[in-house]
Amino acid sequence: MSETLTVAALYAERKARRDAELDQLHQAEAAALKEQDAEHRAFLARAMTEADAADIQHRILRAFGRHEREVQILAFPSDYCPDSGRRINHALPGWEDQLPGFAKALYAYWSQTLKPGGFGLQARIVSLRDGMPGDVGLFVTWPDEFSFDNGGV
């Protein structure tokens, strides 16, 4: 004969299932946090390479060929910045001092290589999370027109 069905047994089984689901959820959240932390550490340690420079130049050429005036070359979470993207979000002076890791390396590349060639660089918030800055985008820009008569615009 089978066990006697009881309300206590039903509730115990439901609780066990709920506990198992919560445990799986917590494990998944812990794994996601660990992965985010690893991505953050990799971003902070990443250096600019020749391959990165070639990719940026290729992307600029493609965007210019499509008659665009800018190309996004990087996006990263604003919480990577020491001020969580506040200076970038409000376009305050010194925003470039808040750039972390690879973004700082990209800024140095732009400053040394692209800026002398007439390219600009903009940083702006490109997404929001619950009304707060989400991701920061770095954009290489160039003017609408170029005058060869005066050596530039």
Q: Please tell me the distance from the alpha carbon of residue 20 to that of residue 49, in angstroms, as a whole number.
A: 46
Instruction: State the pTM of this model.
Output: 0.79
Per the prediction, the chain carries an average pLDDT of: 92
Q: State the Cα angle at 68 between 53 and 51, rounded to 5°.
A: 10
pLDDT of residue 131: 85
pLDDT digit string, tens, across residues 20-63 = 999 999 998 989 999 999 999 999 999 999 999 999 999 999 99
pLDDT of residue 105: 97
pLDDT digit string, tens, across residues 100-131 = 999 999 999 999 999 999 999 999 999 998 88
Domain range annotation of the chain: 1-45, 49-141
